[in-house]
Amino acid sequence: MKTRMKITIVTIVGMCMGVTAQNEVSTYFQVNADNSNGYVASKIYLKSHSNDRGTGLFTLGQTNNWFIGNPYTDHANSFMIGVSNKSDGIDPVAQKSFAKFYLNANGRVGIGTTSPEGNLQIGSGTLNGLITLGGGKGYSSIGSTRSDGGLVLGKNIYTRYNGGDDNFVARVGKTKTDGFSGIKMGQNGQIDFFGKEGNVTLDEVANSNQNIKLRIDTKGNVGIGTINPSTKLDVASNSFGLPATSGSSPNGFLRIGFTDRSWGGTEILSGIINSHNQDYAGYIQAKNPINYSQNRTFLINPQGGKVGIGTENIPSEYKLAVAGKTITEEVKVQLRENWPDFVFEKNYNLPTLTEVEKHIKEKGHLKDIPSAKDVEKNGFFLGEMDAKLLQKIEELTLYTLEQEKRLKEQDKKFEKQEKELKELKILVKRLLEK
């Protein structure tokens, strides 16, 4: 039995070994060879050819080929060790220059790519299931190569240690028309909230300053609409500052209180000129707590530094309007005009009491003092009225002084007459006694 096996093996080897010079086939070891037509159809074949760049073990002309060497012939689904139209590396599984599994000269392994960026890269591009471990930039990633962070998940999340203000970034959204939003944090203590609606390009990355909507800087300042907040809360806007909290159009005011109009509240407005050309710079008003549409109960600076209490109707020439009674411990009135001390000047023409009496009979009130009807209709100026009343008091003082002089003169006359009367009585008595 052993002798038969040895004879069989020697016979097979002898049949499969040979040289065919006409077809330029030099065979050292061949199984199932057919070189009558100038080609080799083998399952296992080891050869050397003058046109080859090495010695290979391969099968040729089949769908699922594998070889060791460097053939120039197109092939599909091959297992390769060496190169195939490449300058270096190993393509264990490849189709010509498109490797399915690739090990380059630097020791990097690529699956689905011939240019691995890390020690191991699966896939390529940003949308092809990419996984990179031990990247040359010091990062690992899943789904993206757009960052130099420590960990990347897709295009939307990454962490890195690279100094600055974006060591952690998380985004939601995608490109085209859906927009995106997210947050980023830096090791310097800065936090940014960013986003954009509508069309978004792949290059509008998370650390783009033009997409930042809110920033908390390293000092704890909060910026809305600005990336350089100068105060604890810095709000910047291209349309009248803060947006309206009531109505359908922005009027640039901030309400403190209830947003429901029926509950009233306080409104603070600044730097607004509405459609009626009213200047609301520094405007503060409080609404009626029952009905917002009723009169405002308190206004400060509604139009040019004015104050209204219980009314919103402030005449243009006035600074303060009060509807109702007021009580105060002290009121100071400082007139711009002269105080009526002119009454005591020598050239002042003091009306006589006869003239005063005549005016009262004709007009029903003192001269230069408004009548009751005028006060009821037009009111009066407190400072002006005080001045007029003081004028009348000073005039009355002059009348009193004048009367005092007359009384003194009359007293002197009475004393003289009384003295003379006494002397007459004495004389009469003496005459009667004689």
Of 327, 352, 379, the residue that ends a domain is: 327
* pLDDT of amino acid 308: 79
* pLDDT of amino acid 358: 92
State phi, psi for 181 to the nearest 5 degrees. -155, 160
Of 115 and 263, more confident: 115
What is the rounded distance in angstroms from the CA atom of residue 319 to the CA atom of residue 188? 52
Structure tokens at 331: 């009121």
- Quick one: 249 and 303 in the same domain? yes
Of 299, 327, 355, the residue that ends a domain is: 327
Of 297, 327, 357, the residue that ends a domain is: 327
434 band by pLDDT with thresholds 50, 70 and 90: confident
* pLDDT of amino acid 152: 57
State phi, psi for 309 to the nearest 5 degrees. -120, 115
- Quick one: 256 and 280 in the same domain? yes
- Quick one: 260 and 310 in the same domain? yes
Of 127 and 153, more confident: 153
What is the rounded distance in angstroms from the CA atom of residue 373 to the CA atom of residue 275? 39
User: Does residue 377 lie within any of the structural domains?
Assistant: yes
* pLDDT of amino acid 361: 92
Lowest mean pLDDT among 22-26, 120-124, 225-229: 22-26
User: Does residue 231 lie within any of the structural domains?
Assistant: no
Residue 215 has pLDDT above 80, yes or no: yes
User: Does residue 94 lie within any of the structural domains?
Assistant: no
Domain count, the chain: 2
Which of 90, 59, 61, 65 minimizes the C-alpha distance to 77? 65
Q: Are 283 and 307 in contact (CB under 8 A)?
A: no
What is the rounded distance in angstroms from the CA atom of residue 190 to the CA atom of residue 197? 23
Looking at the chain, the whole-number percentage of residues with pLDDT higher than 70 is 45
What is the rounded distance in angstroms from the CA atom of residue 368 to the CA atom of residue 56? 129
Count CA atoms closer than 13 A to 131's CA, side-chain side. Answer: 4
216 band by pLDDT with thresholds 50, 70 and 90: very high
How far are the Cα atoms of 42, 60, 66, 67, 89 from residue 75, in angstroms, in the given order? 15, 8, 9, 11, 18
Lowest mean pLDDT among 84-98, 200-214, 375-389: 84-98
18-20 β-sheet, strand order: 18-20, 25-30, 45-47, 56-57
Query: What DSSP element (H or E) covers 411?
Result: helix 382-433
Arithmetic mean of pLDDT, 51-69: 47
Of 429 and 28, more confident: 429
- Quick one: 302 and 366 in the same domain? no
Quick count: other Cβ atoms within 10 Å of Cβ 306? 16
What is the rounded distance in angstroms from the CA atom of residue 78 to the CA atom of residue 65? 5
User: Does residue 126 lie within any of the structural domains?
Assistant: no
Arithmetic mean of pLDDT, 27-35: 47
- Quick one: 267 and 307 in the same domain? yes
* pLDDT of amino acid 106: 75
Q: Are 158 and 152 in contact (CB under 8 A)?
A: yes
- Quick one: 247 and 291 in the same domain? yes
* pLDDT of amino acid 62: 44
Arithmetic mean of pLDDT, 252-272: 51
User: Does residue 421 lie within any of the structural domains?
Assistant: yes
- Quick one: 372 and 304 in the same domain? no
pTM above 0.75, yes or no: no
- Quick one: 363 and 405 in the same domain? yes
In angstroms, the first-to-last Cα distance of the chain is 216
Count CA atoms closer than 13 A to 128's CA, side-chain side. Answer: 10
User: Does residue 154 lie within any of the structural domains?
Assistant: no
Residue 431 has pLDDT above 80, yes or no: yes
Residue 243 has pLDDT above 60, yes or no: no
Where in the sequence is the domain holding 292, given as residue range(s)?
239-327
Residue 55 has pLDDT above 50, yes or no: no
User: Does residue 143 lie within any of the structural domains?
Assistant: no
How confident is the model over 177-214, as pLDDT tens digits?
A: 677 778 888 878 888 888 887 776 656 654 566 788 89
* pLDDT of amino acid 95: 45
State phi, psi for 358 to the nearest 5 degrees. -65, -45
Q: Are 227 and 215 in contact (CB under 8 A)?
A: yes
User: Does residue 416 lie within any of the structural domains?
Assistant: yes
- Quick one: 345 and 429 in the same domain? yes
Count CA atoms closer than 13 A to 243's CA, side-chain side. Answer: 7
* pLDDT of amino acid 67: 54
Which of 157, 156, 196, 147 minimizes the C-alpha distance to 176? 196
